[in-house]
Amino acid sequence: MTNEFKRPDGRKIDELREVEAKVGVVPNADGSAMFRSGKTIAIAAVYGPKKMHPQHQQNPATGQLRCDYTMISFSVSERIRPGKNRRAMEISEITKWALEPVLLLEKYPNQVVDVFIDIIQADAGTRCAGINAASMALAHAGIPMRNLVASVSVGKLDKNLVVDLTKEEEDFEEGEGATDIPVSMTPDGKVTHMQLDGKIRTKELQDVLDMAKTACGKIYEVQKKALKDSINMGGKDE
Ligand code: ADP
């Protein structure tokens, strides 16, 4: 890892984009939150726990989490075709896997918690921003949780590891090109989700996890503050 690597936006290799979080952005929902990293903005709204429909999907042993990730039509410069696509279905499933381990859903047999995530604006790292927003929204909805989950994408640009990739960085083609490694974890460093398609050495993967842990720690502080602020405001906007 070299410290001299120049990122297109001048950030240090371990520097996040500007991060912003707000809780209670969708008044009709049982819980909601916005998470922004640079130009990537995610909104999450939680409905439930409520009786699972269709009924044949009910599980008397536990409650269930359902996640629905969507990139809205104007989130990128070329309008996105409305409706479900394979990518959105994959990210919805991954979001569920990233969040389920911290939820105490066994308290809600036969019930479901629905999480809707809309990406308002996309500049890479949308699955991570969605998970960050959803984690806050679940806490805001009062769903019992062991911990929050924070998520960040660590990238390998040629041989350099950097955190929180932009779209421009994801498209990096020099040397070995770009590998994007989204990681989600609890503040005590338990990984709930990691994806990797590309080549990486074992030692580098350890460095990736170390960088993700530090970055997720910073995101966790932002999430925690947003949740505290929402309580201080009595759950209402200023
Ligand atoms: P992530 O957003 O989690 O990094 P991907 O790696 O699948 O997920 O996508 C990377 C980025 O590519 C997105 O954040 C977005 O900026 C862009 N992108 C994804 N899908 C589309 C699309 N249909 N049209 C234009 N840009 C897209």
pLDDT digits over 178-217, tens only? 999 999 999 999 999 999 987 788 999 999 999 999 999 9
Q: How far is the CA of 76 from the centre of ligand 1 (A)?
A: 8
Q: Is the CB of 79 inside a 6 Å radius of any atom of ligand 1?
A: no
Give pTM, 2 decimals. Answer: 0.95
For residue 130, which amino acid is it? Answer: G
Atom of ligand 1 nearest to the CA of 80: 23
CA atoms of 50 and 145, how far apart (whole Å) = 17
Q: How far is the CA of 160 from the centre of ligand 1 (A)?
A: 22
The radius of gyration of the chain's CA atoms, rounded to the nearest angstrom, is 18
pLDDT digits over 136-181, tens only? 999 999 999 999 999 999 999 998 999 999 999 999 998 888 999 9
Pocket residue to mutate for ligand 1, from 36, 126, 170, most atoms within 8 A of Cβ: 126
Task: Return mean pLDDT, the chain.
Answer: 94
Q: Quick one: which of 147, 155, 157 has its CA closest to 217? A: 147
Q: For residue 238, what pLDDT is reported?
A: 44
Distances (CA, A) of 41 to 37, 53, 62: 7, 30, 32
DSSP per-residue letters across 122-179 = -SS-HHHHHHHHHHHHHHHTT--BSS--EEEEEEEETTEEEES--HHHHT--STT-EE
